[in-house]
Structure 1
């Protein structure tokens, strides 16, 4: 997963407005309570960040690798 795909995954899963807000604000315990944006800026791998988001937000397994399939429909 690329950084741009991480941002798109947030939009696809949570919508145009909520997705970027979650990317900025959701504290991920796997990354010391850093947000996805902070973790990415610190050099963490986008796929690992996204998997932590999937866990934190209880997303279905088919959301774990969105870059490997057609764009999913929004979850919410």
Structure 2
């Protein structure tokens, strides 16, 4: 998954403003106690991070 696709999916699910806030502020244990932004900066792939976001936030299957 490209990073641009990841951010588009985040915006589609959360809305543009909240996607940015969520990625910056929401710490998830499934990301090793990191935020989305921290996980991406630490080298996690966009696909891995999206899978965690989907699982933690109960993203509907049709948006995965």
TM-score (norm 2): 0.88
Q: Return 5+ residue gaps in structure 2 as ranges.
A: none
TM-score (norm 1): 0.76
Q: Any idea what SS the aligned residue of 1:10 has?
A: helix
Hey, what does 2:55 align to over in structure 1? 55
State how many pairs are aligned: 64
Deviation at 1:62, TM superposition (A): 1.7
Once superposed, what is the RMSD of the aligned Cα atoms? 1.0
Larger RCO, structure (CA 8 Å, separation 6 or more): 1
**More helix by proportion, 1 or 2?**
2
Structure number with larger C-alpha Rg: 1
Mapped to 1, the partners of 2:5 and 2:37 lie a distance apart of 13
Q: Any idea what SS the aligned residue of 2:19 has?
A: helix
